[in-house]
Structure 1
């Protein structure tokens, strides 16, 4: 079962909190243990020094019982009115040994007959089968003996255990409180994500407007920006599809009506008149096919944002295209010419698209300037490549010049059979390649179309 982001974050945060509180409790317990032991060790040392100071080392047998009894009464007696202090009662164990350890001079009630600790100065902790105690050892130089003062560590252990319980309970309470705060913080932090989900669920199919959230965190901003970019691309794609359908319906309505009328007309003709009518029908079908082909090409170009490019010889591409169109130009009485400076021009571009652009420019010149020459010129330097196509026709008026690249716009008469898409396709190919398209009337007559490409490194 997959966990939600909210539950995953909560579990991870609780784990981190549990680890942090556990480590803090453990460290606090260790510090408390150290401090409690230091306090009790210091008190034990003070007791030993107090006994040493009160002793008359010349009369140990007389002083020690009295001092031990007084010490026990002061440390081990708890008033009945204070039962809560019973856990902290402490019993002092006192031994006095000869310097060489050969004789036990004195031991308090409860102290064993063997030495509580080694006979040298310092603190010692004994934990064995015979019992557990903490001992402080000091010397009695005048009496040539050792004084050992010990205690059972029950009180300090009780305090340490209670402190450990306090740390544990406080840690659990802190974990619960922090978890509730973390849950609230996570819900607040994930609020924009929930809002985004709600906005997207409420959206209709036709609503492709950008998403605008009340609060957009830094981490969520790339997601929102990506969604808005996707909505923009979808909107542009739908608009292109609607425009394609509208353009196709507009352009195909007339030729299909003509084909229908011609078909109806053929039904009433004699056999010897059918050939001419069939030729006209074929021309109408060809024109409709060209319109559909150009519309599809234009739709593909609208979709293409970064075509695959390769290193090609633009001059060779122009020569090949001119050779393919030579028969058509010769049929219309047009002369095709190419002037390339230098002879080979390398350019990084999409070969298929450039071939379509060159073909459209030449066919457009042949269509609107029949019987005249069509000149193709190439010029290149280190910065750019310039392709020009010029016909020797009548040119176009200045008012029409700027509209030639509009879709379905045909300058002058409309009897040339074009669909008004050729220069639109060339303009789109130029945009895809980052080239510049210019249309102008040549000073000596005719239309001059110029495509300027920027040259990249290594070309």
Structure 2
């Protein structure tokens, strides 16, 4: 069974209050008993000293009976019109023993014939199977005897018990009142949480705006901040998905329509025209496949912030990527060159991302650099950065278009159209830019002084390995 925060707090506070009240009652009872005993012991000592003072100058046989009767009359009788004093009725017991212990010189009515306490000065609590009494013992030097004055402790016990009952009742009342106050305080303290829950329940599913609460408690602020952060990330994710769907629908509509139109007219064409149309259909399906692949890559990259890396041989990854693009270069009679430092150490980057970025850069350079040209690739380490640059020998790009080349589906003025043989999807540099962002790097684009467009990736090195690329 899961308890609510309200129930948990109420139970804990109730237990704490109960413990505090029980401790207070116990300590109060002990204090009351101590104080009551002190008061009664003081009265007992005063009575003994009073008797001692009288006997020190009088005759023992003549004065003791009269003193005993007077004390019992004074301490043991309550006036009929004062019944509330009944608890304070006390009967004094008096004994006088010789100091050598060989004889009982005097005992008051009701006192036993054995000693009430040891024959030593002080207070004593004597208890037998049938009786209990408190005794004060002092000496009578003029009579060479011990004076014992005692009383039954029922009056003490009654007062202590009555005060203990008062403490108990007041403790129960205090516990009930404190519990009610604690419940009200808990309800008030949890009201911001209820308001937050109410606002969240009333929200529509598409409302991802930040939550705002009036006077948010410090303890609840991390929850509100966490919710707002989650709403922000959800909003960004939904926006990325919406953008992906819009981009995909927009870019796939035209090539699919062209493919459909071409396939519908195949039957009406001559054999040679059919062969040309089939070749064009094949190129169209290739472009559509490439577009879908790039859109999926962008979608995956949009959902990735950082990728775990390990030291890898980037030079070898670049060589393999260029080798895989050689067929495309041969088709356009383009020469692919690589300038890489053979002593470049293994660096902590993801070689798959580097290969993906290089593939898009070289593909763009082959498409837009022109046939029978050269595409130069350069790989170096400069100032703790991995630098990968690709340069074509084409006409370059207008300076105004350079900042927009990494935008999705942007094509520079004068670039081939999407349905031409060289036409691209406008996503290549967007993918490269997203890869660079994932690697916390920079993307630089410029028109090279000797002609052509040069694109450079600068990725900070997260760690270097002492092993060279050829070492295991």
**Structure 1 residue 342: deviation in Å?**
4.8
Paired residue for 2:390?
Answer: 389
CA-CA distance at 1:457 after TM superposition? 3.8
Shift in alpha-carbon separation, 1:62–1:458, aligned structure 2, 3 A: farther
| Aligned residue in 2 for 1:422 | 428
The answer as to whether partners of 1:387 and 1:450 remain within 8 angstroms in 2 is: yes
Native 8 Å contact 2:266 2:277 kept in 1: yes
d(CA) in 2 for partners of 1:442, 1:74: 124
Equivalent residue of 1:208, what SS? Answer: coil
Work out the CA distance in 2 between the residues paired with 1:222 and 1:213.
12
- How far 1:11 sits from its partner (Å)? 0.9
What residue in structure 2 maps to residue 89 of structure 1? 89
Task: Tell me if 1:336 matches 2:342.
Answer: no
CA offset at residue 406 of structure 1? 0.8
Provide the C-alpha distance between the structure 1 equivalents of 2:121 and 2:50, rounded to a whole number of angstroms: 16
CA RMSD, 1 decimal: 1.3
Q: Does 409-418 or 433-442 show the bigger shift?
A: 409-418
Per the alignment, residue 262 of structure 2 pairs with 262
**Which stretch of structure 1 is more off in the superposition, 333-342 or 183-192?**
333-342
Q: Determine if contact 2:56/2:142 at 8 Å carries over to the other structure.
A: no
Query: 1:38-49, aligned counterparts within 5 Å?
Result: 38-49=38-49
| Counterpart contact for 1:57–1:140, Cα < 8 Å | no
> TM-score with structure 1 length normalisation?
0.97
Checking the alignment, whether the CA contact within 8 Å between 2:248 and 2:295 is kept in structure 1 is yes
- Separation (CA, whole Å) in 2 of partners of 1:399 and 1:56: 127
1:26 equivalent in structure 2: 26
| Residue of structure 1 equivalent to 2:468 | none
- How many Å apart are 1:425 and its aligned residue? 0.3
In 1: Cα distance, 2:297 partner to 2:454 partner: 24
Which consecutive residues of structure 2, in runs of 5 or more, have no partner in the other structure? 466-472
| C-alpha separation in 2, matches of 1:367 and 1:310 | 33
Aligned to 1:222: 222
Aligned equivalents of 1:354 and 1:218: distance in 2?
A: 46
- Aligned position for 2:470: none
Range 104-113 or range 374-383, more displaced = 374-383
2:381 is equivalent to residue 375 of structure 1: no
Query: C-alpha distance in 2, partners of 1:448/1:169?
Result: 91
Structure 1 position 407 matched with structure 2 position 408: yes
Q: Which string of whole-angstrom CA distances, capped at 9 and with x for unpartnered residues, describes residues 49-73 of structure 1?
A: 0100011466201011111122122
Q: In structure 2, what is the Cα distance between the partners aligned to 1:219 and 1:436?
A: 40
| Structure 1 residues not aligned, in runs of 5+ | none
Query: 2:326 and 2:406 mapped to 1: Cα distance?
Result: 25
1:139-150 matches, cutoff 5 A: 139-150=139-150
What does residue range 202-213 of structure 1 map to in structure 2 within 5 Å?
202-213=202-213
Displacement of 1:320 after TM fit?
1.0
- Give the count of matched residue pairs: 459
C-alpha distance in 1 between matches for 2:104 and 2:130: 18
Matched-pair contact (CA < 8 Å) for 1:117–1:124: yes
Deviations 1:181-232 (A, max 9, x none): 1001111111111111111111111000111111322222221111111111
TM-score (ref. length: structure 2): 0.95
What is the aligned partner in structure 1 of residue 306 from structure 2?
306
Q: CA deviation at 1:368?
A: 0.3
Cα distance between partner residues in 2 of 1:381 and 1:283: 40
Contact 1:310 1:351 in 2 (8 A): no
Cα distance in 1 for partners of 2:56, 2:327 equals 139
The alpha-carbon deviation at position 275 of structure 1 amounts to 1.4
- In the other structure, the counterpart of 1:70 is 70
Counterpart secondary structure, 1:333: coil
> What is the match of residue 235 of structure 1?
235
CA distance in structure 1 between the partners assigned to 2:291 and 2:382 by the alignment: 37
Partner of 2:461: 455
Taking the aligned partners of 2:277 and 2:382, their CA distance within structure 1 comes to: 53
Q: Distance in 1 between matches of 2:464 and 2:159?
A: 83
**SS of match in other structure, 1:419:** coil
* Equivalent runs, 1:117-196 vs 2, <5 Å: 117-196=117-196
Indicate how the Cα distance of structure 1 residues 345 and 333 shifts in structure 2: closer, same or farther if over 3 A, else same. Answer: farther
